Structure 1
Amino acid sequence: MAAPAAKPHLVFFPFPSQGHITPAFQLARLFHHCHGFDVTFVHTEHNRRRLLRARGPDALAGAPGFRFVAVPDGLPPSDEDAARDVAALLLSLPTMVPHFKELVLSELPAASCRRLLVSDVDPILRAAEEIGLPCVTFWTTSASSFMAMQQIRHLVAKGLVPLKDAEQLRNGYLDSTVIDWAPGLPKGMRLRDFPTFIRTTDPDDAVLALTLRLIECYRTVPSAVVFHTFEELESQVINAMSDILPPIYAIGPLPLLLRETGGGDDAASTSAGSSLSKENRACLDWLDGKRPNSVVFASFGSLVKLTGEQLAELAWGLASSGYEFLWVIRSDQKAAGGTAVLPPEFLEETEGRGCVTSWCPQEAVLRHGAVGAFLTHCGWNSMLESVCAGVPMLCWPFAADQQTNSRMACTEWRVGVELSEDPGREEVEAAIRQVMGGGRGEEMRRSAAEWKDKAALAARPGGSSWVNLERVANEVLAPLMDKKRVC
C-alpha cells in the first residue's frame, strides 16, 4: 500500500521582535486553519522563555499540525522580559542560520518533505535558497514603508544618504528635502518621512548596509511577497511595486480575516498566543464605565522607550487636556532602581480619570467604544488595529518604518495628527484637544469610520484580502511545494 502523501508544511521564521511575531503568528493560524497546512513556528530561545513567563506552558503547547520550536539568537543569555535591542538583533541574525538549516534538514517530521519557508529575515531567506527550500517573504509593516525602503539605494546613489554631517539632523534639512520621485508614494514626502536607517553620517554604517542587503534580497530571493495590508488602503504603492518585485499579495488586516474565517476558534489559537508580555485585562473593566469616545489611549509598542523628560511632558499634556486616559507604560520603562516613572503630583491630579498599566490586550482596547483617540508610536500593527477600530490617531513616530506610517496616516488617509519629534506638554495637550473634539476631530473620525468599513469589506468573503489569501495558498504555496522538495 502506498504511503499517504505528505501534508504541505510551512516553516514560519519571523524577525524575533513582537511587532513581527504577532502578524506572522496570525498568518500561520490562517493557513493552518483554512487550508490545512502543517506549521512549524520558530522563536528564539529568549522569546520562548518570555512567552512561557507571560502565558504559561500552554503558550507553546501547539496543536495537531501546529508546533513551536526555538533557536538561539546568538546574544548573551537573558531572562529579562525586556525586548532585545533591534540593532543587536539585526547583527545577530547570521548566527541563527546554522540552527535554521539543521531544523529544516534534520529536525522537521521526516514525512514532511513538501516544505516552504515564510520569513522576513534576510539571512534565513538566503539560507533557504542555498538548501533548495522555496520561500515567500511576509512583510509585516506597511507597503508604503517597503517602497520607502526600496528608495534608500537611490538616496545613496544621489548622495543624499549618508548625511553630510550630524547638523543635518537638527537644522531642518530632513524637513526641507522633498523626495517627489518615489513610485506610489506621496509627492510631498520629506526625507524625514523615510525610515530612520538613513539618519547616519557613517558611510560604513552597519544597519544601513543590512537594510540595503535586505531590500535586495526581497527583490531577488523569494517567489512572492505578502504584505500585511489591504489593497484599498495602499492601492497606489501596491500597483507601483508590481514592476520591482516578485508577485505581491495584500492580505490584511489579519485580525479581521481570523474572525471572518473562524481561525480564532481553533486549538492553535486558544492554546497559544503571541504576546511576549503578560496582558492586564483589568483595564477593559475600567473602560466599561466610561462614556463613548471619552478616553485617550496611549501606548508605544514593545520597543520604544521614552526618556524621563518625555514621560513627564506627556503626563502633564494628558493631565492638562482634561480627558480621561488609559496609558501603557511597560515594566522595562522603570527608572533606575525600579522606581516609579511618573511625577507624584501628576498621579494626584489625575486620580480617578487615569488608568496606567504595564501591558494590555491592545486590539480589544481599541475596539472598546470608550476609546476616542490613540496616541501611538505608529508601529504598523498598532496602526492597522486603529484603522480596524475606526479610532483616529495622535502620531508620535520614533524609529524604523514609523515615520513613513505616520506620514500616510496624517496626510493621505486623514486619520491622524502628527506630533513633533520631542513634543512638550502644550503641544500634547493641543493635539489631544484637536483630535478628541472640534471640527478637525470630527473630520478625522469620519475618515476613520470610512477606513474601518473598507477594512471590514476587504476581509469578508469575496473581499480583496480574502481573495488574496486564497490566491497565495492555491497559486503560490501549493505549487511551490510540489516543485521543490527538501528531504
Structure 2
Amino acid sequence: MENNSNDQNNPHILMIPYPLQGHVIPFVHLAIKLASNGFAITFINTLFIHHQITRAHSHDGTHDIFSQARKSGLDIRYTTVSDGFPLGFDRSLNHDQFMEGLLHVLPAHIDQLVRDIVEMNPEVSCFVSDTFFVWSSMIANKYNLVNISFWTEPALVFTLYYHMDLLRIHGHFDSADNRKDTIDYIPGVAAIEPKDLMSYLQAADTKTVVHRIIYKAFEDVRKVDFIICNTVQELESETISALQKKHPVFAIGPIFPSGFTKSIVATSLWSESECTQWLNTKPHSSVLYVSFGSYAHASKEDMQEIALGLLVSEVNFIWVLRPDIVSSDETQFLPVDFEENIKGRGLIVPWCCQIDVISHPAIGGFLTHCGWNSILESIWCNIPLLCFPLLTDQFTNRKLVVDDWKIGINLCDNKPITGENVRENIHRLMSGKSSEEWRKNVSGMRNILENALSKDGSSDKNFNQFINDMKVKILKKRIA
C-alpha cells in the first residue's frame, strides 16, 4: 500500500493520527496542506481505521485513500499498521481493552514500521503525531526525527490537561472531594467552573486507562520540538500566549479541506447517506441538523427524550443516528412508530457527509455533542448551536460556544433531559427572539476564521512560521 513518489529532496514527514474519526479528519487535511507546501508525506493509519474507511466507501482493503490526492500532484504515500487487535474486535464495546492496546501494544508496531520506513527513505526528517500518543518522543529520538505534536482540540483543553498538577494541588482534581468553586489560577485562563472541565478531569476514578494515557501524553508533550493546534489565535489569544511562554506553539486552524468542499480523501468510517435532495425540498434555514459525532455514547433514556422533543417541536430535522450511539449491542432505542410519525419533516440517517449537509442553505441550527470539528465547521457555515456534550473535551467546548462566544445555547446544562425541554430549546435556537443575536455572533466568528486563513492572517502567518522553523530544525538535526 506504500507509494514511493518522485522528489527525493522534499523534506519528508511521517504522520500518524489517533485512531478515532474526529482525529483522523484534521490529520488528513493537514497532510494535504503540508504536501501542498512541498513536503513529502507518509501517512500511517491503523489497519482497522483503514478497513472501516475503505469498507464505508465500497472499496476492497487494498484501496489507497490518498490516490486522488497523488493524481493532483501531491506527494503523499500511505501505509497501515496493526493496532494489535483483530479487525473483528469490537473496539467500542471493549473500550478499555482497546485503550490498553493503544498504550502498550501499538507503540511496538509503530516502532517497527517507522524503522522500516526510515531505512527505505533516509530523507524522512519529521514525525507528526497526535498529542494523545504517549510514545512520540521515544520514536522521534530513536530515529532522529523532528518531533511535532498535533493537537486537534481547543487550546483551552490542552492547557487544562497541561496544568493537571495545579488542579490537583488546589483540590479541583483527583481529590477525595473535589472543590466546586471557580478555578482562577491556570495560566492564560481567566476563570473556569469545575463543571466545564473535561469529563476526565471531573471523574471520581482517576486511575482508569484513559487517565494513564492523558498523564503520560502530557508528560511526553513537554519534550516535543513544536506543538501545532487546530485553533485560531484570535479565538483563544490569552491561552495560546501563555502556552507560547513554555513551548513553540502554533495556532494554524481551522484545518479544512480546500474550499470547504467534500475532501478528495475519504475519512468517514461509515457509509454516507445522501441528504441533498431531501434538503432541497425545505425552506431556507428551516432544518435542524442533529448529530452526536462518531465516538461518544448516550443513554437510551436521553435518546428517547430527544426523539420526543423533535417529534413535538414540529421543526424539520435531519438526525444522524449511529447504530451504536447507545451501545453496539443495543440498537433499538427510538420510541415506537417514531419514524412513521416524522415522515416528511424528519430524515434519520446512520451517517452523512457533515460538510455537505451543514453548508446547505436549508440548515438553520445544529444540535451537537460539541465535538471540536463540528464547532469549527458550524462557525464556518454560520450555524448556531444547541449543545449537548457527552464526553471528554465536549464539556469545555460547550463553555466556549455558550458562555464565551455566545453562538449557541445549552440543551439541558447537566440537568435531566425532558422532551418538553428539548422542544422549547429547539424553538429558541431556530426562531426565538434571541435567535438573531446568535446568528449575528456566529457570523462575526466566521469572519475571524476567514481572516485567520486569508493571506497574512494569523493562521496563515503561523503556518508559514511553523514551516520555516521546522526546516531550520531539520537542518540542525542533519548537521548534528
TM normalised by structure 1 equals 0.88
For the pair 1:183 / 2:187, whether they are aligned, the reply is yes
Counterpart-to-counterpart distance in 2, 1:201 and 1:331: 29
Alignment-derived partner of residue 43 in structure 2: 41
Counterpart-to-counterpart distance in 2, 1:335 and 1:399: 15
Counterpart-to-counterpart distance in 2, 1:38 and 1:130: 21
| 8 Å CA contact retained: 1:114, 1:484 | no
Unpaired segments of 5 or more residues in structure 2? 1-6
For the pair 1:133 / 2:149, whether they are aligned, the reply is no
Q: 1:85 to 1:145 in 2, by over 3 A?
A: farther
Counterpart-to-counterpart distance in 2, 1:226 and 1:289: 42
For the pair 1:143 / 2:155, whether they are aligned, the reply is yes
Instruction: Name which of 383, 393, 396 aligns with 1:401.
Output: 393
| 8 Å CA contact retained: 2:290, 2:319 | yes
SS at match of 2:42: strand
Counterpart-to-counterpart distance in 2, 1:84 and 1:125: 30
Report the residue type matching 1:247 in the other structure: P
Please give the per-residue CA displacement for 1:146-171, whole angstroms capped at 9, x wherever unaligned: 11212322122223322426xx7xxx
Counterpart-to-counterpart distance in 1, 2:448 and 2:85: 42
Counterpart-to-counterpart distance in 2, 1:113 and 1:286: 50
Report the residue type matching 1:440 in the other structure: S
Alignment-derived partner of residue 20 in structure 1: 23
Counterpart-to-counterpart distance in 2, 1:154 and 1:27: 32
Please give the per-residue CA displacement for 1:442-467, whole angstroms capped at 9, x wherever unaligned: 11111011111221121122211122
Please give the per-residue CA displacement for 1:207-247, whole angstroms capped at 9, x wherever unaligned: 3232122112212x211110001112111211121123x21
Structural mapping, 1:77-226, within 5 Å: 77-78=87-88, 87-93=96-102, 94-108=104-118, 110-120=120-130, 121-164=133-176, 176-187=180-191, 189-202=192-205, 204-219=207-222, 221-226=223-228
Counterpart-to-counterpart distance in 1, 2:255 and 2:124: 25
Q: 1:102 to 1:408 in 2, by over 3 A?
A: same
Shift of 1:405: 0.4
Shift of 1:369: 1.1
Counterpart-to-counterpart distance in 2, 1:303 and 1:342: 19
Instruction: Name which of 308, 314, 318 aligns with 1:316.
Output: 308
Report the residue type matching 2:134 in the other structure: D
Instruction: Name which of 42, 60, 63 aligns with 2:65.
Output: 60
| 8 Å CA contact retained: 2:288, 2:367 | yes
Shift of 1:104: 2.1
Shift of 1:471: 1.6
Counterpart-to-counterpart distance in 2, 1:84 and 1:382: 24
Shift of 1:139: 0.1
Alignment-derived partner of residue 356 in structure 1: 348
Unpaired segments of 5 or more residues in structure 1? none
Shift of 1:22: 0.4
Structural mapping, 1:211-290, within 5 Å: 211-219=214-222, 221-244=223-246, 246-255=247-256, 258-259=258-259, 270=264, 272-281=265-274, 283-290=275-282
Shift of 1:328: 0.2
Q: 1:85 to 1:368 in 2, by over 3 A?
A: farther
Q: 1:78 to 1:91 in 2, by over 3 A?
A: same
Counterpart-to-counterpart distance in 2, 1:113 and 1:484: 12
| 8 Å CA contact retained: 1:59, 1:273 | no
SS at match of 1:60: coil
Report the residue type matching 2:185 in the other structure: W
Report the residue type matching 2:294 in the other structure: S
Counterpart-to-counterpart distance in 2, 1:5 and 1:48: 26
Q: 1:364 to 1:181 in 2, by over 3 A?
A: same
Instruction: Name which of 366, 371, 377 aligns with 1:379.
Output: 371
Counterpart-to-counterpart distance in 1, 2:121 and 2:210: 39
Counterpart-to-counterpart distance in 1, 2:329 and 2:389: 28
Shift of 1:436: 0.9
Q: 1:388 to 1:450 in 2, by over 3 A?
A: same
SS at match of 1:439: coil
Deviates more, 1:368-377 or 1:463-472: 463-472
Q: 1:203 to 1:445 in 2, by over 3 A?
A: closer
For the pair 1:420 / 2:424, whether they are aligned, the reply is no
Please give the per-residue CA displacement for 1:9-61, whole angstroms capped at 9, x wherever unaligned: 1111111100111001100000002x121111111111111112012254535
| 8 Å CA contact retained: 1:163, 1:200 | no
Report the residue type matching 2:266 in the other structure: G
Counterpart-to-counterpart distance in 1, 2:312 and 2:463: 46
Q: How many residues align?
A: 460
Deviates more, 1:208-217 or 1:139-148: 208-217
Structural mapping, 1:329-368, within 5 Å: 329-333=321-325, 340-368=332-360
SS at match of 1:378: coil
Deviates more, 1:116-125 or 1:343-352: 343-352
Q: 1:292 to 1:203 in 2, by over 3 A?
A: closer
Alignment-derived partner of residue 392 in structure 1: 384
Counterpart-to-counterpart distance in 1, 2:93 and 2:77: 24
Shift of 1:198: 2.0
Aligned sequence identity (%): 30
Q: 1:150 to 1:276 in 2, by over 3 A?
A: same
